[in-house]
Structure formats: structure tokens, C-alpha cells
Amino acid sequence: MSRMLVALVAAALLAGACVKADTKTAVKTDASGTMSIELSYKLEAIESAKTRVEEMRARAEEAGREGPDQAQVDEQLSSFVKNFDPEKASADLKSRGFEVTKSEAFEKDGWKGVKLEGTFADINQVLAADRTKREATRAEAEAARTAAAAGGEQGGQGGRRQRGAGGMAGMMGRNRGTDTSAPFVAQFVSTDKPGIGKAVLLAPRENRNRAGQAGQGGQGGRGGRGGQGGQGGMGGGMEDIKRTLTISLPGKITETVNCKKVDDTTVSFDMKGMDMQPDEDGNMPNMVTQGVAVFFEIPEGCKINFEAPAAPKAAEKKEDTPAPNKKKGELRTDGGN
């Protein structure tokens, strides 16, 4: 089994590995501020992932195929767990411009993770580091979508070597936002209203269930069994994925989008894994399509750098509708000759 597929196997199993993240951020007018983070994962998820890999290996051996390489799978699982190590988590924050004042591990009720507290002298430095990380995340997401499409196509064609890859790659695509490192700080964007800025806590996405479509492709032929199994295994894990973000801004809040106002300068929102799932018609929830954001008054002397809003995407050109064939003696009604 290729290393790419092994990575998909382990990462897909952990995409719904029950991750919780609780982040509290406060940004001041001079661009300095504080942050506290509590990040954890469900211990049961690791054992569950190992069990599923063993089952996959057994099925592969029965069919005379090559199964997942244990050493490579163990490497992927170990990499996931290390994200919750206080030393690694602290290093991640420091690389983004934070001064870590507290870092400690904890384990409670079957969950294990890390608690961190820190300060930053310049939010702009933190945001610059986060932009770099977002770009890397987008590249990984695009790779996952490509793998999902390829896996789904091969599954539909009955490919023997990629059996089940469509479903796993589909899970990777659906959960591409799952990030086990310290959550991103909000993006600050300028608006067309004088003196009003916008903090984006969750960027909107297109209402297009690409990964789900690719995963369905894997249900065809011999690849379908793995795809269906992967989808079935995601339900429980998604329920335990949760992110809570609270942010205090340097100015008075004027409007909120998909988040609740705590006081004049603070908002908060909760997002569970199941909140990101499409409805029966394939439509994504408002939190996905509209994003999560807050508008606030920019105080005098504010040193936060506001990005220009993203340019609207050009409308897709509609394919020309073929002109109807004109029968002898029949008038054209479409303006043609």
C-alpha cells in the first residue's frame, strides 16, 4: 500500500477522532492581547483507529491484497497524539508570535489534552503566521479532495488495490477543517462602512458537498464496501468534535453573524462536528455558507492591520443552450433565422 494511501487511512480514521478545542482571545487597541486554549482528544479514538486498521489488514489478506503497513500507520497515529503534547503545543504558539505563560497536560473522563495560556505583543505578527498556515491547510484540503475524487472513481470502476479508498478519502475531504494544533485567531477585514471593522471567526465556504459526492463514487463496484464502511464509522465521532471560540475586541460590537454577543465587546460561538454536515438536500448550514463573523467599531489609534475583503468570485459562465431544430414550416421562437 502506498504511503499516500496509508496516510489517508490513518488520517481518515482520526478525522472524527473526537477533538475538542476551547479558545479564548482578547485583543487590545495597541494590537497586543492574551489567549487561553484547552485542546483535547478522546483516548478511545486511538484504540478504535488501531482496531479498524487491523480489520482492514485482515480483509486485505483474505482477498490476497496488500494491507496497511503497521509501521506507517503507527507513525500517523503518533503524529496525531503529539499535537496534544505541551512541549509541541507551546512550540507551535511560539512560532506564531505568542509568549507562552502556562502549558500543562491533563486527562479527565477519557479525554487527554493540553491547557495553554499566552500573550502576544502584536496580533499582526500572529495573523501573518496564521495566513501561512491557512494556505498550507488549503493545499492539504485540495490534495484530499483530489484523492477523494480519484478514490471514488477507482472505487466505481471496481479497482482492487484502492478498495475502500473512495470512502476514506471522502472522509478526509469532509473533515478537512479538523486541525489538532492551536486554533487560528480571527481574521480582521476592512468594510465599506467608515470606522467599522470585521473579525472573521470562521470563513464562509461554498455550498458544495464535493467530498460527499466523491465518497459516493466509491460505493460503486468493489470499492463501494470500504466507502460505505467509512461513512458509517464517522457518525459517532463527529458528534464529539467540538470547537468553542470566545473573542474580546477593542471596540463596541455593532453586528454579529452566526455567533452570540456576550457583552458590548465580546462574542462567542460553539461548533460541533455534526453542525457542519449537509441536510437531506445536500445544503450546508449557514455557519458554513455564511461563515461566523462580528462587526465592531474601530477605536482611535487602533494598530490592528485590516485585510482588504476578498474579491467576489466571477460568476460561472453558463453553457449556451443548443438552438432547437427547426422543422419544415415551423416558426422559430428563439430569435434565430
- Note the pLDDT tens digit of each residue in 57-90: 888 888 888 777 777 778 888 888 888 999 999 9
- Domain contains 64: yes
- Mean pLDDT lowest among 74-78, 109-113, 236-240: 236-240
Answering whether pTM is above 0.85, one says: no
CA dihedral 108, 109, 112, 113 (to 10 degrees): -60
Please tell me the total count of domains within the chain: 1
240-282 tens-digit pLDDT: 788 899 999 999 999 999 999 999 999 999 988 777 777 777 7
What span, in angstroms and rounded, lies between the C-alpha atoms of 130 and 290? 21
Containing structural domain, residue 154: 3-297
Q: What is the CA radius of gyration of the chain?
A: 24
User: Does residue 11 form part of some domain?
Assistant: yes
Asked if residue 320 is part of any domain, the answer here is no
- Better pLDDT: 229 or 200: 200
Question: 309 lies in a domain?
Answer: no
| Displacement of CA 18 from its chain's centroid (Å) | 14
Q: Using CA of residue 17, residue 76, residue 22, residue 248, what is the dihedral sign?
A: negative
- C-alpha dihedral over 161, 163, 164, 169, to 10 degrees? 40
Taking the CA of residue 276 as centre, how many other CA atoms within 13 Å lie in the half-sphere pointing to its CB? 30
